[in-house]
């Protein structure tokens, strides 16, 4: 029987108490999505341009890692000289594809999928796109390997009897290509994984948080998995380089299933009665638990927690020794540097076992001698390190192994979860099936913007924005006194800059006034400076229009409301201008307004000088569009008693372009208009999009300090 140390729970925080372990079970849900035409799976149609780009990149990577680029180049020369032979579609052009080609297309497609998920208010749409992309790439890995192999075979037939020496050279290349299939696909898959990970870190994670906050983040962890493009998660090289190399055969004491059993025995020894397999599995999915339990092999003995970790580490090491696996664990780390020197000529498992078993070491020595160019020096040095690993160094390896095992255990469970979800996706490639699914409104199409079919869009709601120049009469008089043309000045400094922005944000100009521009955004998917007041009114309904000849004239309550929101009362301006506040928008209710009841908004005194004020509907809509997080800043409060809330978030302007936005929510103050003194704070709110750079500097400084902690 193995030696099992028992550490009891309970007590008052003594050295024998086991810390509370975190648990994690990978999951992926397609909640709220329609099943497809077979009533079982979700129908997905992927961008043809993406698929072609993926195939081109995969062929290039397979040819590179398979060392058959020269063969495919020879095929291209045959094709150019007219010696064409029958076979699959030509792959010569694919060899010219570069990694950036796929990355840019893939980024564009994933951003489009995320935007579609936002438009449908369902993150499952984006997760479906991710799963479909992985399934497509996996299919293409095997399909393109088979195509490249077939091209090489056809080339060999073409050279038979022509240049015997060249034929022998090509035959060796093709034979080596077949034997190394698993290695080639692993290396190609890892490059695809790194591309996906770069896109996630550079673009998607910020955009997703901007649109959805932190909701659903655990689901995306399934795609940041080194095992993503492996068949079953079992790969000696991948495990050795990034986790720990396990045994492959039933007789191997360090096979994964046996080590999993040992880890469960260890956890049960710490927590007697913990027989629930799901609970044990959940604990093993959290690598941070290894640090809590054994300090990753190097506990700090100056604290009671560290001494407890050392005791548990001794128990864990003793268990591994009794189970006869510790030598293999040490060897699994020592074998990694040998792989680049001896593999694939010598099997990775054989190399590892040679570091532990003398008979295996003798066999490997003979294999090394047969290859001639190889030396046994590195092998002997590794054997010596395994034998000499004792004491504290051995305990450190045991602690490191527990964490690496848990990392692999977690990623293997993530892979299994993802693999099961692949069966729920039906990749549509047949045009008739695509049409059938689309007609039944069960098709999820993920296309690049240029592939989208133009369709008639229905207006669901609208936003009216009014920008009003403060004191335009005084400004006009000042310009004329200087001999300047007010019309051209307003045109160059106000109208033209705004007009340039219309197409970028999908806005249309409703009409112009002398000192104001009114814009509408329909939701389908060296002179004096100008002081503006901007009002934004959102209405959850389409606008109405009347026709004046061929010109459409909008009718909407938002027009009047945007006018009120952008206005600035002269008495309010006179009272507020001396104040040094980073806020540019305020709203006041006078004493006499209290009798106005529901029409009190009409009697509200507004201050908007260089500010942007939005109505409550626009604020609610903004909260739906992006994730707004409450922020705490020390800022001046009106009358020293103003209670305001500050929110901040990221607004996606374009691919990889984000702008921070800060919104202030405050109460309307009831005042005495004669003295401009506070009577009370009302229950009504107003909303300001902050424009003062000082606020954004403070937000950035707060984020930097938080990151520093």
How far is Cα 402 from Cα 407, in angstroms, rounded to an integer?
9
Angle at 314 between CA 311 and CA 317, to 5 degrees: 150
pLDDT recorded at residue 510: 63
Query: Does position 478 have pLDDT exceeding 50, yes or no?
Result: yes
pLDDT recorded at residue 5: 36
pLDDT recorded at residue 590: 86
Q: Determine which helix (DSSP H) or strand (DSSP E) holds 500, and give its type and residue range.
A: helix 496-502
pLDDT recorded at residue 545: 67
pLDDT recorded at residue 524: 53
Radius of gyration of the chain (CA): 34
Which has more confidence, 515 or 465?
465
The burial of 436, by beta-carbon neighbours within 10 Å (0-12 exposed, 13-18 middle, 19 or more buried), is given as: middle
Q: Which residues, at least 6 apart from 439, have a Cβ–Cβ distance to it below 8 Å?
A: none
- Strand, helix or coil at 251? coil
Query: Does position 490 have pLDDT exceeding 90, yes or no?
Result: no
Average pLDDT over residues 434-442: 88
For residue 389, report the phi and psi dihedrals to the nearest 5 degrees.
-75, 105
Query: Does position 44 have pLDDT exceeding 90, yes or no?
Result: yes
pLDDT recorded at residue 613: 95
How far is Cα 215 from Cα 492, in angstroms, rounded to an integer?
45
For residue 150, report the phi and psi dihedrals to the nearest 5 degrees.
-65, -40
How far is Cα 671 from Cα 686, in angstroms, rounded to an integer?
16
Query: Does position 7 have pLDDT exceeding 60, yes or no?
Result: no
pLDDT recorded at residue 533: 85
pLDDT recorded at residue 493: 72
Q: Determine which helix (DSSP H) or strand (DSSP E) holds 253, and give its type and residue range.
A: none
Mean pLDDT of the chain: 85
How far is Cα 145 from Cα 134, in angstroms, rounded to an integer?
17
- What are the pLDDT digits (tens) for 608-630? 988 999 999 999 999 988 999 99
Work out the widest C-alpha separation in the chain, in whole angstroms: 107
Q: Shortest CA distance to 289 belongs to which of 415, 402, 413?
A: 402
pLDDT recorded at residue 167: 75
Q: Which residues, at least 6 apart from 538, have a Cβ–Cβ distance to it below 8 Å?
A: 461, 462, 463, 558, 614, 615, 617, 618, 620, 621
Q: Shortest CA distance to 256 belongs to which of 437, 412, 441, 45?
A: 412
Query: Does position 97 have pLDDT exceeding 60, yes or no?
Result: no
- The DSSP secondary-structure symbol of 639 reads G
pLDDT recorded at residue 10: 30
**The residue to which tokens 């707060």 are assigned:** 702
Q: Are 149 and 177 in contact (CB under 8 A)?
A: yes
Look at strands 657-672 and 425-427 and give their pairing.
Answer: unpaired
pLDDT recorded at residue 18: 84
pLDDT recorded at residue 85: 34
Which has more confidence, 447 or 487?
447
pLDDT recorded at residue 84: 38
- Enumerate the β-bridge partners of residue 536: 465, 614
Confidence of residue 509 (pLDDT cuts 50, 70, 90): low
Percent of the chain at pLDDT > 90 equals 56
Which has more confidence, 205 or 558?
205
pLDDT recorded at residue 210: 92
pLDDT recorded at residue 301: 87
Query: Omega before 344 cis (within 30°)?
Result: yes
Chain-centroid distance of CA 658 in Å reads 15
Average pLDDT over residues 453-477: 68
Average pLDDT over residues 560-581: 87
Q: Shortest CA distance to 284 belongs to which of 257, 311, 321, 248?
A: 257
Confidence of residue 130 (pLDDT cuts 50, 70, 90): very high
Q: Phi/psi zone of residue 372: left (φ > 0), alpha (ψ -120 to 50 degrees), beta? A: left
For residue 689, report the phi and psi dihedrals to the nearest 5 degrees.
-85, 110
- Strand, helix or coil at 548? strand
Confidence of residue 3 (pLDDT cuts 50, 70, 90): very low
pLDDT recorded at residue 35: 95
- What are the pLDDT digits (tens) for 245-264? 999 988 999 999 999 999 99
pLDDT recorded at residue 443: 95
pLDDT recorded at residue 91: 42
Average pLDDT over residues 688-705: 89
Query: What is the DSSP track for 655-688?
Result: TTEEEEEEEEEEEEEEEETTTTEEEEEEEEEEEE
Look at strands 645-654 and 629-631 and give their pairing.
Answer: antiparallel
Average pLDDT over residues 167-172: 81
Q: How many helices (H) and strands (E) does the chain have?
A: 27, 16
- The DSSP secondary-structure symbol of 66 reads T
How far is Cα 56 from Cα 101, in angstroms, rounded to an integer?
9
Report the interhelical angle of 123-159 vs 48-65 (nearest 10°): 50
Query: Does position 15 have pLDDT exceeding 60, yes or no?
Result: no
Q: Shortest CA distance to 511 belongs to which of 520, 523, 522, 498?
A: 520
Confidence of residue 522 (pLDDT cuts 50, 70, 90): low
Q: Shortest CA distance to 444 belongs to which of 17, 13, 37?
A: 37
Q: Shortest CA distance to 466 belongs to which of 557, 563, 538?
A: 563
Average pLDDT over residues 154-158: 81
pLDDT recorded at residue 354: 96
Angle at 308 between CA 306 and CA 313, to 5 degrees: 90
- The structure tokens listed for 228 are 């993503």
Query: Does position 450 have pLDDT exceeding 80, yes or no?
Result: yes
Query: What is the DSSP track for 399-467?
Result: HHHHHHHHHHHHHHHHHHHHHHHHTTEEE---HHHHHHHHHTT-EEEE--GGGPPP-PPPP--EEEEEE
Q: Shortest CA distance to 332 belongs to which of 262, 236, 261, 234?
A: 236
Query: Does position 519 have pLDDT exceeding 70, yes or no?
Result: no
Q: Shortest CA distance to 607 belongs to which of 579, 634, 636, 631?
A: 579
Domain ranges of the chain: 1-25+235-413, 31-224+424-455, 568-708
Query: Does position 16 have pLDDT exceeding 90, yes or no?
Result: no
């Amino acid at each position: 029987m193995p030696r099992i140390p028992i550490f009891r729970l309970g007590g008052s925080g003594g050295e024998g108490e086991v810390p509370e372990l975190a648990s994690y079970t990978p999951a992926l849900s397609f909640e709220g999505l329609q099943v497809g035409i077979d009533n079982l799976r979700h129908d997905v149609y992927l961008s043809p341009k993406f698929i072609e780009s993926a195939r081109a990149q995969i062929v290039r990577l397979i040819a590179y890692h398979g060392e058959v680029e020269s063969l495919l180049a020879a095929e291209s020369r045959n094709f150019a000289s007219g010696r064409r032979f029958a076979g699959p579609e030509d792959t010569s052009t694919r060899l010219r594809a570069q990694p950036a080609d796929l990355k840019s297309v893939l980024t564009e497609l994933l951003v489009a999928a995320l935007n579609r998920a936002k438009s449908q208010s369902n993150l499952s749409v984006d997760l479906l796109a991710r799963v479909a992309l992985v399934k497509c790439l996996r299919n293409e890995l095997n399909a393109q390997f088979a195509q490249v192999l077939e091209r090489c075979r056809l080339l060999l037939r073409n050279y038979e009897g022509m240049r015997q020496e060249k034929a022998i050279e090509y035959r060796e290349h093709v034979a080596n290509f077949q034997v190394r299939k698993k290695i080639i696909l692993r290396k190609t898959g890892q490059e695809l994984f790194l591309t996906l990970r770069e896109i996630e870190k550079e673009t998607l994670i910020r955009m997703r948080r901007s649109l959805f906050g932190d909701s659903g983040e655990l689901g995306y962890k399934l795609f940041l998995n080194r095992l993503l493009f492996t068949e079953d998660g079992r790969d000696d090289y991948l495990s050795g380089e990034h986790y720990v190399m396990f045994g492959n055969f039933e007789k191997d004491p360090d096979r994964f299933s046996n080590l999993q059993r040992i880890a469960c025995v260890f956890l049960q020894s710490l927590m007697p009665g913990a027989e629930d397999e799901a609970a044990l599995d959940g604990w093993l999915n959290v690598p941070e638990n290894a640090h809590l339990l054994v300090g990753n092999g190097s506990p700090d003995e100056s604290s009671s927690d560290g001494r407890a970790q050392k005791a548990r580490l001794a128990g864990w090491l003793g268990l591994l020794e009794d189970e006869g696996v510790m030598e293999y664990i040490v060897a699994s780390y020592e074998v990694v540097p040998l792989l680049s020197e001896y593999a694939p000529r010598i099997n990775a498992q054989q190399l590892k076992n040679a570091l532990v078993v003398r008979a295996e070491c003798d066999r490997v020595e003979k294999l090394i001698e047969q290859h001639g160019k190889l030396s046994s020096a590195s092998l002997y040095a590794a054997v010596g390190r395994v034998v000499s690993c004792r004491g504290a160094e051995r305990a450190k390896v045991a602690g490191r192994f527990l964490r690496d095992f848990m990392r692999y255990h977690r990623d293997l469970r993530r892979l299994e979860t993802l693999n099961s979800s692949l069966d729920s996706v039906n990749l549509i490639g047949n045009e008739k099936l695509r049409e059938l699914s689309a007609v039944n409104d069960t098709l999820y199409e993920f296309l690049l913007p240029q592939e989208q079919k133009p369709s008639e869009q229905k207006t669901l709601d609208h936003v009216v924005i009014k920008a009003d120049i403060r004191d335009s009469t005084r400004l006009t008089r000042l310009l004329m006194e200087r001999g300047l043309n007010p019309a051209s000045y307003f045109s160059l400094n106000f109208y033209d800059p705004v007009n340039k922005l219309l197409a970028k944000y999908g806005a249309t100009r409703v009409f112009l006034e002398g000192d104001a521009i009114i814009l509408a955004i329909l939701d389908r998917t060296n002179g004096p400076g100008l002081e503006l007041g901007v009002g934004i009114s959102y209405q959850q309904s389409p606008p109405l229009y009347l026709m004046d000849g061929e010109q459409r004239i909008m009718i909407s309550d938002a027009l009047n409301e945007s006018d009120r929101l952008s206005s600035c009362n002269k008495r309010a301006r006179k009272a507020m201008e001396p104040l040094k506040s980073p806020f540019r928008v305020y709203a006041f209710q006078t004493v006499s307004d209290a009798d106005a009841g529901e029409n009190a908004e009409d009697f509200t005194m507004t201050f908007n000088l260089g500010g942007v004020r939005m109505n409550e509907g626009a604020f609610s809509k903004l909260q739906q569009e992006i994730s707004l997080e409450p922020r705490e800043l020390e800022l001046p409060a009106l009358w020293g008693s103003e209670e305001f809330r500050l929110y901040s978030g990221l607004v996606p302007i374009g691919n990889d372009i984000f702008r921070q936005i800060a919104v202030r929510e405050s109460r309307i103050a009831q005042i005495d208009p004669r003295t401009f003194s506070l009577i009370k704070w009302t229950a009504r709110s107003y909303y300001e999009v902050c424009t003062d750079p000082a606020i954004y500097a403070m937000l950035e400084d707060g984020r930097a300090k938080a990151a520093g902690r």
